[in-house]
A and B are shown apart, each in its own frame.
Chain A
């Protein structure tokens, strides 16, 4: 079964502070689309090192949204990009993760 983003880490961190939860999600809502855009642009220009840097940043957000298995996909994808390789399988899995995260933060 596919992993779904969740609030477990954010809730644990906030200790019930709803204001903080909302503020943090606002930051993620602002930052994640930019990081995804950078990632896609760097892939387009075959700047794989920078694309790896982008995945690295996104990786933190994957963990914040409780996506433990997806986190490993991001690690592998980042490593491959730093080697100058776009692995089609990892790329495709990562795209799905990005879509899931984007949908989640928009609805949150």
Chain B
């Protein structure tokens, strides 16, 4: 099996490489200290098995699984025993290894991986969130400001920000403060164009300039990305 290791800790990667080297069934193709590099690798290489650390800063193992479309078999490795239940909610997860990993326990996991036949990966979307049906609201949105219904061209909106009982709608030309909620406006916006990246922010994904760490630059605004929204955001990007 062609494998990769994704773990931010060099010591853990060294141990996994050693354990794998004692098993003829495995060939370690590459190792990564962060999930983003691993996603790029997966886009270009056939991988049968991933050894994946759950606890990585900024982008957890579970975020990673939710980001990849057709995940190969995955063996989780972690120092936490508490994630076991969550781990088995994903069909692609073969086993769950608690660090420090012994050779005996490792080999047992590999035997399971060899026998493991996940559901047809092509149709298996268990690790993906179900997309909401895109809304057919046309290109216009009418907002009520001072008893006037003002038309806003939806693609021109680049940011919506929660402001207490109001929302601030930002377009390139003008900003609008409207008495409404994030939930209400979210229902009116097309899913393919807009994404809630934080409980207080919805962005137009087409208008992103760049992404750095846990924030997005959109026009001149730097917007935080919540940990839970990051996998969905990464999925939307056409990563090279």
Contacts and interface: CB of A to CB of B under 8 A. Distances in A.
Q: Do A and B bind each other?
A: yes
Interface of A: 9, 12-15, 20, 23-24, 27-28, 30-31, 50, 53, 56-57, 59-61, 63-64
A13 B15 contact: yes
B79 A31 contact: no
7 contacts: A13-B18, A20-B18, A23-B14, A28-B11, A31-B10, A53-B55, A60-B11
Given A56-B55, A60-B12, 7 more contacts: A9-B100, A13-B19, A15-B22, A28-B11, A31-B9, A63-B79, A63-B100
Given A13-B15, A24-B15, A50-B57, A56 B79 contact: yes
Given A31-B9, A50-B57, A53-B57, A60 B14 contact: no
Contacts of B126: none
B181 interface: no
A8 to B, nearest CB: 10
Interface string B5-29: 0001111101100110010000000
B175 interface: no
A61 B102 contact: no
A30 B10 contact: yes
B235 to A, nearest CB: 24
B74 to A, nearest CB: 19
A24 B9 CA distance: 12
Contacts of A60: 9, 11-12, 79, 99-100
Contacts of A27: 10-11, 14
B96 to A, nearest CB: 15
Contacts of B12: 60
Given A9-B100, A13-B103, A64 B11 contact: yes
A27 B14 CA distance: 8
Contacts of B9: 31, 57, 60
A15 B14 CA distance: 15
Contacts of A15: 22, 103
Contacts of A20: 18
A39 B90 CA distance: 32
A59 B79 contact: yes
Contacts of B22: 15
Contacts of B15: 13, 24, 64
A31 B103 CA distance: 23
Interface in B14-63: 14-15, 18-19, 22, 55, 57
Interface in B110-165: none
